[in-house]
Structure 1
Amino acid sequence: MINVALSAMPPAVPSPTGGPPPIPSMKGLSPMAAHTWNSARAAKRIAARQKEVTTVEIKDYVRDTDLTALPRNKAYRVNGVHIYVDVQNLADMLASTQVEGETCHKRTLRFLNLHYRAVHRILTAVDAIEVDFHNQRLHAVVTKPYGDEAGRIHRAVAIAQLIIDVLKQTGEDGDEKIPSAEVRVGIDSGVALAVCNGRRGHAEPLFLGEPANLAAKRAGGGTEVGTYLTNTARSILGLADNVVEDKTPLTIKEVTASQEEAALSITADQVVKAWRSDLEASPIGKFSFAGHTPPFSNLDMEVLSPANSRRQDAISLYADIDGFTDFVAAGVCDDESAKNVVRTLHVLRGEMDAALHTDFGGRKVRFIGDCVHGVLGEGTAQTTDHEASVSTAILCAAGVRSSFEQAIAALEDDGTLDDGHGLGLAIGFDLGPIALTRLGVKGAMIRCAVGRSVLESEDQQRRCAGEETAIGQSAYDAGSPAVQAMFGSNRKRSGLVYDTAVDELADKADATAAAAKAVAKAAAAGGLLQSSPAPARDYAFADRRTEPTKPAGFA
């Protein structure tokens, strides 16, 4: 452990009195490593990702094609109806206590778990494709009846109403009252590309394209509950197709007509009855939290469960590829262009994940379409170093942007991307208490990260254009004076790449950036100092409980 710690120290300064040099300050440093980004290292990874998708196969989706284990170099063109369900009262759950402590996190996780188990049961029963459940948002796709687009939209509307009706009944009135979910649904229809989503044993299908994006926008287009169709989908059903989409929910009469047309084989009462029986047979365990010693890159999320969750102050970071939906829409129907879409996504996301995970000790929670959500931090399992965490997050965001730009250049050089592709990267992050776990039932468990900072970091990303990085208020307040000077009162910065970030912070005496710069300089000069990799688990600090504990037998 001593060698690892020393590798992260800034160089010693000789004593002016001629005695031994003072011990370098460790303020702002991870106990394990100084995190740096390196162009040569990124180039090697990017080349490896490009090689993995030299050959890409595009196929048309046919009846009951299995999309759960797609190889990274294959995609299916799918004509389907996309359903996005947005639970509107997640923020209310996180704000159910004045202080963001364990109580509100436990309530929120139970709230999500109850509702996810119900929705998972619905999608299985109606033979829809469950794509993603990221905290308060569910994405599903309806591909049946084949060859009947209007029939698929009617079926999607009926499924949406079934979800709304069921989630009205899946709260709890016990000691920890869990409310029912307030649901807003967005629906669109069209052609999208189904590709592999995820790496390192956590893979699932992902749908790229305009219908997925527009359905998500309708679900997130306001706070009023109900089902909202795009004008495209409305036109196919013969409804008025020049409405303000985000302010025009389907009427009761229109929903009833779709329910009659779809004639689903299951009712809300049947789902709720089966859901209650499932809860009795397989109760949701009590949520129990421990802290994780950074770096988060060595946190195995596939072993998390309600009884084995993590919770501590950390950074939540969202990095979203700007302009990707239009890029996909322009190429989805042409095989060669679709192949380049697959190549571009694979290389960009792979390198963004690597910069987060390998270079800065962060952990990807999940890919959400063309967006990466990750967590990172500095300190110990018991105490987060807030200032250092914010500085590392800035270096990480800048490193991710540098990796993105280098990958774009490589894709342009090999002909995958043409001029005018319009792709950029919007990044947002914030600091606060975050709970990490997995929800659901055995065999269908999903990763979950909740916290007010998780919602805020996504909001920060959304206020960015494709060249910008934004920092939340909590992270800004915890940052060093150099951080606050860098982002200013607007808390947003354009064109922040790694070299700019590390130089600017280090020049203003930010300890974390100074250490990273010293490590990089020494490594470039062939000196003894070099960036340390994440420690082997045998040498990592053990996970510690975050709540007070009492000896057995004591009240």
Structure 2
Amino acid sequence: MAKNIWKKDKAEKRIATRLGEVKTIEIKDYVRDTDLHSLPRGKAYRVDGVHLYADILNLGDMLQSTEIEGTTCQKRAFRFLNLHQRAVHRILGAVDAIKVDFHNQRLHAVIAKPYGDEASRIHRAIAIGQLIIDVLTETGDDGDEHIPPADVRIGIDSGKALAVCNGRRGSTEPLFLGEPANHAAKRAGGGTATGIYLTNVARTAIELVEVDDENANALDATEIAYSQNEADLSVSVNTLLRDWRKDLEANPIGAFRFSGHTLPYADLDIEVLTPGNSRRNQAISVYADIDGFTAYVAAHIDDDETAKDVVRVLHVLRSEMDAVLTEDFGGRKIRFVGDCVHGVLAEGTAQTTGTEASASTAILCAGGLRSSFTTALDCLEDEGVDVDGLGLAIGLDAGPTAITRLGMRGAMIRCAIGRNVLASEHEQKRCAGDETALGSVAYGWCSAAGQAIFGSSRRRGGLDYETALDELADEGDTTAKAARAAKASLAATSLLEPVSAAPSAFRFPRRDAAPTKPAGFA
């Protein structure tokens, strides 16, 4: 069991180290064929491009295909995602788009070419979006597992964003910060209908009329056909499907096999996971999102000096959230998703999860995340960095959680699925920047003290670490009482540490100190 202790002085030391890593930042404008997949931590590129998000809408249906969320539905969901991710990887390579991220059911790509021609980039993005839709309607599997085609919703926006290094310790990829990335994601996630949805910014750039509700007005067939003609992509659906099938024959996905990880998750090496070596435990999924960050980026991106602060803020906040989750509470970061961290945590063994202890640890962890976030903002302000308008929204939910890596050999990506993963993201989205929310399953795992903290709304504002620790422990929560006792023991130990020797300047000389008679006196 993790000690579940958050200490301000420890957080401050980590934050100081992270600030030192980004003391010097270089902001550059994106130029032709710049490699964005190996950005150093201290460099960022300002990119004028079109952002495309593709959301696979029926992942939730796959996870709900059985009454109980057992291994069968999760194995089918993994195969469903793997088939479609491999197809999309091939599409993006064929059309020379930048694959930014494929987080579970959600793809983010950037179209930077042709340079200096926004309208042509948008037409190209529309054509690529339709290509993804058409290919993924054919990439199901009629075998024994009956994997359905993907229902896809595309969101597109255009404008300037800041490309920075995403991830740590060998799991890095480009990350784009700014309004076009965020608004494209919101269009993709803005409803349950399939199709291609543009922001009014993108519509205006290609001389389409603005609409009152961007989430309810998909492009019609005529508009899509016009963009396809303008883009004139050099690859067809049939060619992509043929190559995809050949790749599956040469490199079959293989069977998904699960084993339980010996908890806690902090020592889980995700980079060695494969479909045949996947993990599955009852666990809590954690989504912690930096609220207000899109507006913050938009206000700072145009000036080089303030853009440098964007990089500093992101690096410090996300690194500290990762440290809190892993070092302080024994959890594991799965992915950075934009300005959000997704992680998992649990208490118990490889075979059995202690549900009440896990829920209490998750509440304390959420409190630690918020306390560290506040501490980091204070440290950034002390360094002269503007952090106005930033908050932290945290969502938690519990249930069977499967973790593996999916995709093409040599480019496999981390993936954690479960009904609780989708639910924890939903809980995060219903929070303001000072709130934490529990899903219904996690609420059921809680002790009476934990349920009292969140009440019937399952949402609580201002829940920092000390508040969570005291409210849980005072009401008899076992995990919190143990954490408070461990914290007190650490404090007592530090007070009892041996005093260091006095400096030599204050030592008495080694000679007889008895009274002596001055010379000449009897």
TM-score calculated relative to the size of structure 1? 0.89
Match of 1:254 in 2: 223
The range that moved more, 48-57 or 519-528, is: 519-528
d(CA) in 1 for partners of 2:385, 2:300 = 12
Sequence identity (%): 66
Residue 103 of structure 2 is matched in structure 1 by 134
Q: Root-mean-square deviation (CA), in Å?
A: 1.2
Tell me the alpha carbon deviations over residues 357-408 of structure 1, each in whole angstroms, 9 at most, x when there is no partner.
1111111000000000000100000000000000000000100110000000
Alignment of 1:377-456 (within 5 A): 377-417=346-386, 421-456=388-423
- Report the equivalent of 1:114: 83
Which residue of the partner structure matches residue 204 of structure 2?
A: 235
- Structure 2 residue matching 1:246: 3-state secondary structure: coil
Secondary structure at the counterpart of residue 245 of structure 1: coil
SS at 2:3 equivalent:
coil
Contact 2:257–2:276, Cα closer than 8 Å, also in 1? yes
Match of 1:76 in 2: 45
Per-residue deviation, residues 131-188 of structure 1 (Å, max 9, x unmatched): 0001110000000001100000000000000000000000011111000000000000
Question: Corresponding residue for 2:126?
Answer: 157
Residue 527 (structure 1) shift = 7.0
One-letter code of the match for 1:437? T
SS in 2 for 1:215: helix
Which residue of the partner structure matches residue 55 of structure 1?
24
The DSSP-based 3-state class of the residue aligned with 1:441 is: coil
Amino acid aligned to 2:23? T
Which residue of structure 1 lines up, in the alignment, with residue 450 of structure 2? 483
Cα deviations by residue, 1:413-472 (Å, 9 ceiling, x for unpaired): 111115xx1000000001100000000121110100000000000000000000000011
Equivalent-residue separation in structure 2 for 1:60 and 1:295 (angstroms): 43
5 Å matches for 1:2-41?
A: 30=1, 33-41=2-10
* CA distance, structure 2, for counterparts of residue 491 and residue 415 of structure 1: 37
1:332 equivalenced with 2:301 (yes/no): yes
Residue type of the partner of 1:83?
L
1:485–1:85 CA distance, 2 compared to 1 (3 A): same
CA distance in 1, matches of 2:433, 2:194: 30
Q: Match of 1:540?
A: none
**In 2, Cα distance between the equivalents of 1:525 and 1:244?**
60
Corresponding residue for residue 66 of structure 1: 35
Match of 1:319 among 276, 279, 288: 288
Alpha carbons 2:3, 2:328 under 8 Å: kept = no
Which of 216, 220, 224 is 2:189 aligned to?
220
Structure 1: gaps of 5 or more residues: 1-29, 531-555
Query: How many residues were matched structurally?
Result: 497
1:79-101 CA distance string (max 9 Å, x none): 00000000010100000111100
| Cα pair 2:435 2:463 within 8 Å, conserved | yes
Q: CA deviation at 1:243?
A: 3.6
How far apart are the structure 2 equivalents of 1:272 and 1:78?
Answer: 32
The amino acid of 2:190's aligned partner reads: G
Aligned: 1:464 with 2:431: yes
Query: 1:518 aligns to what?
Result: 485
Counterparts in 2 of 1:528 and 1:182: CA distance versus 1, 3 Å: farther
Quick one: distance in 1 between partners of 2:145 and 2:409? Answer: 24
SS at structure 1 position matched to 2:207: coil
Which structure is higher in RCO with an 8 Å CA cutoff and minimum separation 6?
A: 1
Asked if 1:193 is matched to 2:140, the reply is no
Structure with the greater alpha carbon radius of gyration: 2
* Partners of 1:72 and 1:150 in 2: CA distance: 32
- Is 1:295 matched with 2:253? no
Structure 2 unaligned residues grouped into runs of 5+: 498-522
For residues 53-88 of structure 1, the C-alpha deviation after alignment (integer angstroms, 9 at most, x for no partner) is: 111000000000001111111100000000000001
Q: Distance in 2 between matches of 1:92 and 1:44?
A: 45
